[in-house]
Amino acid sequence: MKLVEYCTNNTHHGTGDVVRRIESERPDVEVVEYGCLGNCGQCFLDAYVLVDGEIVEAATPEELYDKIMEKLDEADHDPFADLPLD
């Protein structure tokens, strides 16, 4: 299960709508809402979330959605899958 965490104080950037959309589209993702994630400077400037503990930020909600989905899909990729077995 992948984890997306966001700060309620960041919802003025559209983050709440983005994570609700992801939550409805991706049953393999757990979304957790916090009152504060301790990244106040980041929270003030841009829309952002934590995906499996890493900051994902964007200037717009649409861009944030795309970046989160990319990060979630990246996590699905096995870096060793294409290596020969011998």
Mean pLDDT of 29-46: 94
Average pLDDT, the chain: 92
Cα distance between residue 73 and residue 6, in whole Å:
19
pLDDT confidence of residue 18: 98
Q: How far is CA 3 from CA 10, 58, 80, 82, in A?
A: 17, 18, 23, 26
Full set of structural domains in the chain with CATH: 2-76 (3.40.30.10)
**pLDDT more than 90, % of the chain:** 83
pTM, two decimals, is 0.84
